Chains A and B, each alone.
Chain A
Amino acid sequence: MSEYGLRPGSADVQYAGPITFGPAGILFLADNGSARVLAVDVADPGQAADPEPFDLADVDARIGSYLGCEAGDVDIRDIAVHPVSHAVYLSVQRGRGDAGQAVLVRIGVPDGAVTDIPLDQVPVAQATIGDAPAEDDQRQDVTLFHSGDQGEEVTYEGRTIRLLRRPVRTSTVTDMAYVDGDPGVLLVAGLSNEEFSSRLRRIPFPFGDQVTANSLEIFHVSHGKWETASPIRTFVPYDHGASVLASYTCTPVVHFPLAGLEPGSKVVGRTVAELGSMNQPLDMVSFADEGEEYLLVANSRHGLIKIACRDIDGQEPLTTPREPVGVPRETKDLQGITRLANLNGGYVLALQVDEDGRRHLRSLKTASL
């Protein structure tokens, strides 16, 4: 792993955050406590796996059993699938408040065995997010929920949702994706310490000094205005990494070109879809089926949403309040999906919460979506 600049050390993570795989089984972990991204060699012990579906009921309770705590003390912040073994890695915060502890959990596929990756002595490299909001930055980032016990309950227009207000520091990194190349680039979305604080950072890997960052501006259809402060919640690289498709709270989907961007400049996105107000996008993946590329958007209010990327390519920018709402979308009868990851060519792995609040891993066959 030395060719990627990884050296033995401690990958001490204060707060479990987004994770994503890079080259050679290296896992990137974002820590919004220390405003760093860590690259860790997880040394996955699994063998190359066939493209089979994988389902596991009560994944939160299973992890709780392993970690010695109740399911309610297992906060699954993100999932990622190992590109070779298809083992599922989960970024977990065990417990709350002062007793909270970040744990990297591995679930073997297909045996479902739960283990964890000790992070105190691993090959690791790190990149610091230099423009992260300060720990005492008093601005708040508000996210929406339609279930659970986090935040406060509020009713708007007869609909009850939960609002969670957290210091902007906790949204320094909201999502990450790795784009292969020479060098490869880790794309990191989130908030910065500046007034126009929505950021997309590009960090070459192996990590060096040349972090480039751009502030982002979008037209928010349901809010009816241009916005720069709200962060991307989730995104996927698109067009072989030449652009990204990103989604925001209340729920525009926006296309950002990356090629030829001047570092530090403001990038104006092309809003291509509006998926509705009072809605939180939770995760996105793209997949190919019969030569066509599709986007899946897990969100808090509706079933899983599927969008054909060819519609995105032809969509004129949305710049007027409320309507039009952009590209056609198909809402699946798949409720409660909070996280998505490409499992293998034929399946997408979904973390799904049921009506009783229990969480399950479930494979969705892409050809049937």
Chain B
Amino acid sequence: MKRASLASAVIAVGALVLSTLPAQAATPGVSATEIKLGISSPLTGSAGVAYGKVPGAMKAYFDYINANGGVNGRKIKLISRDDKYLPTLAATQTTNLILKDKVFALVGALGTATHSKAYKAAALAKNNVPDLFVNTGFSGFGDTTKYPTTFTVLPSYAMEAKIMSKFIKEKFTGQAVALIAQDDEFGIDGVNGFKAGGLTLASTTLYPQSSLTDARAKALLTGLSAIPGKPVLVLFGTTDVTAGILKAAESLDLVSKFTWIAGSVGGDANTLLALGVKATTMTGVVAASFFPDAKDKSDEYVSQFMKINEKYNTKGVTFDNTVLQGMNSAMLTVQALRAAGKNLTRAGLISAIESKGAKFAGAGLVPLNYSATSRVGYNGYWFGQLNATGELKPYGGTLAIFTTDSGAGAIEASTYKRPTMPKNGIPTNS
């Protein structure tokens, strides 16, 4: 009896000692007091105009968490590098983040052409660097053979197009559908999604980026106005292009000719209004989202994030859907770090998200789908209509969420109910 208890005592003590030993020496970006995270995204240039708010929003949330104890006693430091939406620059900046800044993990990398090159160039797979919550809807990033350490968060453009097809077929039966999309991975992902969703398009226009000028928009709209009835016009472009097309429609008095559907990338109402689109034009525009609207102060996440934005973000940054999205990703990141435990390793972070990620708290109104076999985050959308103040309200009054995949899977109505937010927006998971 005595020997057994002595042995178990030794084992117990040994286990205790070993479990508190911080095996951090080998893990880059992690010290006793700090976790370094990196993001490469456009801050300047034409893309910087649309996406420049993301790093600031994430940093604001991280600062909030740091002020409230950090993660397992460590503060989060976000290192942001500008890649101007250029693949060569994204490759070098991401490599810099890994080799120079020695970050622990990447968060919120932005853009398909940019990040696909950066992923390979910075040897993220080889170094097992977690690539969390990338800011792009390109379905390819969910492919674990190509991107073994990447976790998507945004529903893919293909998913969006599929769900949009179902919505259009149900609500606008009999009307012709025309698509105006950017001629790159995001527009083409959309085209494929419409095909998978079984929607026949009366007209598809793919325009090279930055080529949709006012003149072009007017010419396009004139052509499309020849379609009889009240065609559905789907705009799969960035916000500046969406605004341009809407303004051209105003000029040609064609606003009421079409039913307008704005894709998620270009559908941020606040930005559209700021770019000069009339409030009367905005009213009734259909848009898809998987978040509550950034203006919906009755939503607990929106009001909490607004407070954080006010207190911790750079002065003067208006709270909009981009900021909401950024903070949400930051919140998911914090939960991932917490779930990985005090003994923080890259492999540990990845498996933590795989096993616990689906249950992370977040503002999303659709479920997260992380598992041992899936790197896909949100996988659904709800449809709404914009009102005169630019707020997105559920179509027909009731919130109807649909989920699907990026391939040929079915589109299903979702009964997901978002769990209550952790108190004050500070995660308590582990």
**Does B bind A?**
no
